Homo-oligomer: A and B are copies of this chain.
Amino acid sequence: MAHASPSQPTLQVWFEFASTYSHVAVQRIDAAIAGRGIRLEWRPFLLGPIFHQQGWDDSPFNIYPAKGAYMWRDLERLCEKHGIPFRKPSRFPRGGLLASRVAIAAEREPWLEDFIQRVYLASFAEDREISSPDVLMDLLQDVGCATASVWIERAEAPEIKLRLREQTEQAIALGIFGAPSFVARGELFWGQDRLEDAIEWSTSHE
């Protein structure tokens, strides 16, 4: 990953591996930023603690059935529109805790973005159980990581667990309440449908 020059526009991508609309954002973001010279900063966080603060112990898409039914149909349409593979998972939400810890541990690895995209594909196009260490090891190998088991081990180190907790706290401090969210020059955008607005903001509001 190249280091940013001070003037290079950056876009923070706040994502949660359980989030359906994050799948859309993560798979289409490279096309969306193509040629814009934008550096992406990947920020995994957990929605569970945020939902818990709002009094929810499950995804709002499960708690509110009309919202859930709509979301699955909307997701199907969006994936068709953008040419993104999609199959409704047999379980929702799937725990993204371990995958998030791997993403934190691997933040400087060249395969980080490939890994993130690969995990979403596994969950939302291949119906695989991304909370399983074995599945994650397969996915790490898929993206060219030769030492998959090492990364699974690193992901469970106390300092990595702490950093994910801190990053979730930082999400709350930024006013984040859902995923995906984008932060561009301090401005918060929520939802994959705000990706283009966030990109514009990152490059045009100097």
Residues on A facing B (Cβ under 8 Å):
54, 64, 66-67, 69-70, 73-74, 77, 81, 172, 175-178, 188-191, 193-194, 197
Contact = CB atoms under 8 A, between A and B. Distances in A.
Given A81-B197, A193-B193, A197-B81, A64 B73 contact: no
A191 B77 CA distance: 15
Contacts of A73: 188
Given A64-B177, A77-B197, A193-B193, A188 B54 contact: no
A81 B205 CA distance: 14
Which 10 A-B residue pairings sit nearest by Cβ, starting from the closest? A66-B177, A193-B193, A66-B175, A67-B177, A54-B64, A70-B190, A69-B175, A70-B175, A70-B188, A64-B177
One complex includes copies of this chain to the number of 2
Contacts of A77: 197
A66 B197 contact: no
Given A73-B188, A188-B73, A176 B66 contact: yes
B177 A70 contact: yes
A158 to B, nearest CB: 29
A54 B178 CA distance: 19
Nearest to A175: B66
22 contacts: A54-B64, A64-B177, A66-B172, A66-B175, A66-B176, A66-B177, A67-B177, A67-B178, A69-B175, A70-B175, A70-B177, A70-B188, A70-B190, A73-B188, A74-B189, A74-B190, A74-B194, A77-B197, A81-B197, A191-B193, A193-B193, A193-B194
A81 B67 CA distance: 28
A185 B190 CA distance: 29
A69 B175 CA distance: 8
A194 B193 CA distance: 9
Contacts of A175: 66, 69-70
Contacts of A54: 64
